[in-house]
Structure 1
């Protein structure tokens, strides 16, 4: 199929796998991430699949950067058919009373404020199209306790609430909002967690692609769990 996908945090792990999975389905991909050799590499990988790739330097926690990125994507590629809010960070290993406000705010800014800013920036163009999907990458930490990692768990619990609330706001518009909650994924982020990997980034990307392109509209508001 043709269309446009926006993937945040596409340089590695789930984001990279999702960008490639959507490119294989024929979508052009806008790659919103911080500048790095890895961002350049995934841009080249997407282009080798004979679709357009637009790398856009962007910190998803920055309102100004997200607004500029959205304007560039819409100008060059058009309104997105798919948004994948994947960018995320983790700062584990400290109990709540040992966690600095700065470290807490950093996690919430990327993992929860980021999806809000990205969705907010692209929704006007998507609503004008009257069709599209927003897929938000949560975690099993969206549903369980995560001692020593409360900021991450709080951000991911919040992301599910955001996704479900957005789904209700979008009823009747032709747009859907869906969360995907993977378990222990074999990525750099898992290192140091103490949990063995139960699935690959490519397996998570398959579910993201299904949610974005194949699932019935009635899946809106769902939180699709992958426990491995």
Structure 2
């Protein structure tokens, strides 16, 4: 049976590059994200690599949509060997005392609640097969901060804590949890940050694939920095 990878936020940037890189390794790909022409495009790109691609409309911050999406993936493709929590958003510019709580909550919902819900939904099936990796895409903002970026930094610092805690819970199960922390990546999300790009989405995808498929089990709990 072909191994399965789940990638959230697959329509562009790091998510798209990761989905294609995993497909080149022969994995079937479940693509979880909002419906869009870009999601259709990456689905077609994956299928042209002669592997299965299952686009699944999903808001990762919605418990109901994540539950429905995970059930569909397991039913159609099987339990995943790899889950890549990549979906993320940024709302930069406002200082803390100028920030709207709704904007803060939106970032936390996608960047931190999302990986929790996705991991929670797929873990039962992964634990049954006693083999797999969960890779969480953090950021350079998981270790340093910049003004006007508190919600994003807090969500990514939290994601590292989540990944490390999950790694400890999974010891002895055959599953590993790893965070990848890229620096300035040449993607749409970098626009307006004031930082020049130091790496490409394909560069980051190669590290994610290494963490997901090739790294020794002992790397579990690591937060792998990639600052260019």
Shared fold per TM-score greater than 0.5: yes
What is the CA–CA distance in structure 2 between the aligned matches of 1:90 and 1:35, rounded to whole Å?
Answer: 20
Q: Does 1:160 align with 2:160?
A: yes
User: How do residues 134-149 of structure 1 correspond to structure 2 at under 5 angstroms?
Assistant: 134-149=134-149
Name stretches of at least 5 consecutive residues in structure 2 with no aligned partner: none
Q: Deviations over 1:90-148 (max 9, x none)?
A: 00000001110000000000000000000000000000010000000000100011210
What is the CA–CA distance in structure 1 between the aligned matches of 2:98 and 2:15, rounded to whole Å?
Answer: 30
What is the CA–CA distance in structure 1 between the aligned matches of 2:101 and 2:66, rounded to whole Å?
Answer: 24
Q: CA deviation at 1:192?
A: 0.3
Q: Deviations over 1:190-212 (max 9, x none)?
A: 00000000000000000000000
* Alpha-carbon RMSD: 0.7
User: How do residues 1-228 of structure 1 correspond to structure 2 at under 5 angstroms?
Assistant: 2-228=2-228
What is the CA–CA distance in structure 2 between the aligned matches of 1:199 and 1:172, rounded to whole Å?
Answer: 35
What is the CA–CA distance in structure 2 between the aligned matches of 1:170 and 1:195, rounded to whole Å?
Answer: 36
Q: CA deviation at 1:2?
A: 3.3
What is the CA–CA distance in structure 1 between the aligned matches of 2:9 and 2:99, rounded to whole Å?
Answer: 24
Name stretches of at least 5 consecutive residues in structure 1 with no aligned partner: none
What is the CA–CA distance in structure 1 between the aligned matches of 2:156 and 2:102, rounded to whole Å?
Answer: 18
Secondary structure at the aligned position of 1:221 is classed as coil
Secondary structure at the aligned position of 1:128 is classed as helix
TM-score by length of 1: 0.99
Q: How many residues align?
A: 228
What is the CA–CA distance in structure 2 between the aligned matches of 1:77 and 1:98, rounded to whole Å?
Answer: 46
What is the CA–CA distance in structure 2 between the aligned matches of 1:83 and 1:51, rounded to whole Å?
Answer: 17
